[in-house]
């Protein structure tokens, strides 16, 4: 192979290889993002203290009456989440939301895609968190629109 062809091959291969590695899956502590649950439902996940994404929180299953559940069913919208884990439980569809980077505690908030999900959640409704508000990275949680910047809630 001639040196010109070898150089051209390398020039074409490097950008191709680099493009395969553009998905950066690292994150900053307490950062949240949306994720897709089984069946296509929307969920949310938070960044852990190790700089990796936690499990996708998908809620407690479809419909049905109260009671039952499992896992961390005692954690609910409005509960406090604190450092270092900032954990709102698994299978709760709750995301720990902090106000500023470096905060040592936040509030567990229900992940949502429409305000009706907030209206239909007793804890969110009791806290007047009946709007679905953007918190960054495409993640939305139930909140009181008067406490969020204009244009971030539906």
Quote the mean pLDDT of the chain.
73
Residue 89 scores a pLDDT above 60: yes
pLDDT for 87: 85
pLDDT for 8: 38
Average pLDDT over residues 56-69: 45
Indicate the pTM of the whole model: 0.53
Residue 141 scores a pLDDT above 90: yes
pLDDT band at 39 (very low <50, low <70, confident <90, very high): low
Tally the C-alpha atoms within 13 A of residue 50's C-alpha that lie toward its C-beta: 3
Question: What is residue 88's DSSP assignment?
Answer: -
Contact 46, 26 (CB under 8 A): no
Q: What is the 3-state secondary structure (H, E, C) of 99-149?
A: CCCCCCEEEEEEECCCHHHHHCCHHHHHCCCCEEEEEECCEEEEECHHHCC
pLDDT for 5: 43
């Amino acid at each position: 192979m001639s040196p010109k062809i070898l150089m051209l091959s390398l020039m074409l291969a490097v950008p191709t290889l680099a493009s395969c590695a553009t998905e950066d899956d690292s994150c900053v502590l307490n950062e949240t993002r949306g994720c897709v649950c089984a069946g296509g439902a929307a969920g949310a996940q938070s960044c852990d203290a190790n700089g990796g994404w936690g499990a996708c929180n998908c809620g407690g299953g479809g419909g049905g009456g109260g009671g039952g559940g499992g896992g961390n069913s005692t954690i609910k919208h409005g509960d406090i989440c604190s450092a270092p884990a900032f954990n709102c439980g698994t299978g709760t569809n709750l995301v720990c939301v902090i106000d500023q980077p470096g905060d040592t505690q936040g509030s567990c908030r229900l992940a949502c895609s429409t305000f009706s999900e907030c209206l239909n959640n007793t804890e969110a409704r009791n806290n007047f968190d009946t709007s679905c508000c953007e918190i960054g990275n495409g993640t939305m949680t139930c909140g009181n629109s008067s406490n969020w910047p204009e244009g971030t809630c539906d």
